[in-house]
């Protein structure tokens, strides 16, 4: 972190930041994105290094963090379980102590949330959650930035986050890391998630870390969850790490495919999002994901812009 800036923060779950910090971050993301689109050089992280630790596969998370760090003047080190001592049972605490003496920032994609928390507890530098079994906060950052870009007025201090209040996000599918993170975002930013999952795959407020009132409502029928929604979103039926359950999930989730009928009962201008990778014909039809209400490519691109704002914030604090 820059000299004189001593407040070390981690970003391990969405509720690690307050609403007012999100307002700042989305505005920084907007400015950073605009500059990048104008080919204006912005390299506040020259000589800084990001270590990226992947214990699960990735396309977007790797490319967005790596490209984003280079664009800001820094470098990255890419580690996987298979090509590091992490896969040969070096304790996570020791890995954290060593890696964090050599780099300025760490991004981790792993299995249990407890693992990233143990790493962070022994790290000298900020740690970012690049997806765990329980949460995917960087993805929801990108999803919200995308929603704001498409739907929010920009006032003198940036996007007006008040526009999120009272909005409805329909979550159709697995009660997984994405669903949990949507719930945390709803609790902090004042919207409601309508959750519909097959039985046995419900969200658990204790795991999501939210009070089980107010920020979400549960619907048996996914069509009812979508009714009146401003945003309809879903995710793969089988998340990474749960592949052994694939066959039973294919059967259980058959009615939780976002299709034109679900989009038709949502608001007429409802957006569709998916964190990707997508399986057309499973959790979403090709007609919806490739249709006019889908903003999935903006959503994927925004991972990079919002994570640049996040890295800047964790390393340099507020700019200006
Ligand atoms: N959405 C997302 O995190 O994609 P990757 O798994 O490709 O990183
Ligand atoms: N829920 C999915 C998200 C992938 C980006 C998974 O954890 O595999």
Please tell me the residue having the least CA distance from ligand 1 atom 4: 60
Angstrom CA distances, 199 to 169, 183, 241, 270, stand at 20, 18, 20, 26
| pLDDT at res. 21 | 97
As a whole number, mean pLDDT of residues 14-18 equals 98
| pLDDT at res. 214 | 87
CATH class belonging to 14-135+301-316: alpha beta
Task: Give CA–CA dist 101/86, Å, rounded.
Answer: 17
pLDDT digits (tens, 9 = 90+) for 243-290: 999 999 999 999 999 999 999 999 999 999 999 999 999 999 999 999
Tell me whether domains 14-135+301-316 and 140-299 share a fold: yes
Of the residues 215, 226, 257, 275, which is catalytic? 275
| pLDDT at res. 157 | 86
Known binding residue 123? Answer is no
User: 320 Cβ partners below 8 Å, 6+ apart?
Assistant: none
CATH class belonging to 140-299: alpha beta
pLDDT band with cut points at 50, 70 and 90 for residue 6: low
User: 232 Cβ partners below 8 Å, 6+ apart?
Assistant: 169, 170, 172, 226, 258, 262, 263, 266, 270, 271, 272, 273
How high is the mean pLDDT of the chain? 96
| pLDDT at res. 153 | 87
Share of the chain above pLDDT 70, in %: 98
Share of the chain above pLDDT 90, in %: 94
136 assigned to active site: yes
Cβ proximity of 262 and 222 under 8 Å: yes
Of the residues 136, 194, 249, 274, which is catalytic? 136
pLDDT band with cut points at 50, 70 and 90 for residue 57: very high
CA dihedral 286, 292, 295, 298 (to 10 degrees): 110
Please tell me the residue having the least CA distance from ligand 1 atom 2: 60
pTM above 0.85, yes or no: yes
Distance in Å, CA 109 to ligand 1 centroid = 10
DSSP 3-state assignment of 145? helix
Please tell me the residue having the least CA distance from ligand 1 atom 1: 275
- Return the domain boundaries, the chain: 14-135+301-316, 140-299
């Amino acid at each position: 972190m820059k000299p004189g800036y001593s407040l070390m923060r981690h970003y391990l779950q969405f509720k690690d930041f307050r609403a007012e910090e999100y307002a700042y971050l989305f505005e920084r993301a907007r400015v950073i994105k605009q500059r990048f689109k104008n080919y204006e050089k912005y390299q506040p992280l020259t000589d800084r290094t990001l270590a990226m630790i992947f214990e699960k596969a990735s396309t977007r998370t790797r490319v967005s963090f790596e490209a984003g760090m280079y664009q800001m003047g820094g470098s990255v080190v890419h580690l996987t379980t298979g090509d590091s001592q992490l896969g040969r049972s070096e304790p996570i605490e020791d890995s954290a102590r060593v890696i964090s003496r050599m780099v300025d920032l760490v991004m981790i994609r792993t299995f249990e949330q407890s693992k990233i928390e143990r790493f962070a507890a022994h790290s000298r530098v900020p740690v970012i959650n690049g997806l765990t079994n329980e949460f995917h906060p960087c993805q929801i950052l990108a999803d919200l930035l995308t929603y704001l870009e498409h739907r929010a007025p920009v006032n003198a201090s940036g996007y007006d986050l008040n526009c999120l209040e009272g909005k409805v996000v329909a979550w159709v599918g697995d009660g997984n890391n994405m669903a949990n993170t949507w719930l945390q975002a709803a609790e902090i930013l004042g919207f409601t998630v309508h959750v519909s999952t097959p039985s046995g795959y419900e969200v658990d407020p204790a795991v999501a870390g939210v009070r089980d009132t107010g920020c979400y409502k549960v619907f048996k029928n996914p069509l009812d969850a979508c009714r009146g929604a401003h945003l309809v979103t879903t995710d793969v039926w089988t998340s990474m790490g749960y592949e052994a359950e694939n066959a039973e999930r294919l059967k259980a989730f058959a009615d939780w495919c976002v299709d034109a009928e679900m989009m038709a009962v949502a608001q007429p201008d409802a957006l569709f999002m998916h964190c990707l990778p997508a399986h057309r014909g499973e959790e979403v039809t090709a007609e919806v994901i490739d249709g006019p209400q889908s903003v999935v490519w903006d959503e994927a691109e925004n991972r990079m812009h919002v994570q640049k704002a996040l890295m800047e914030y964790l390393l340099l604090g507020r700019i200006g």
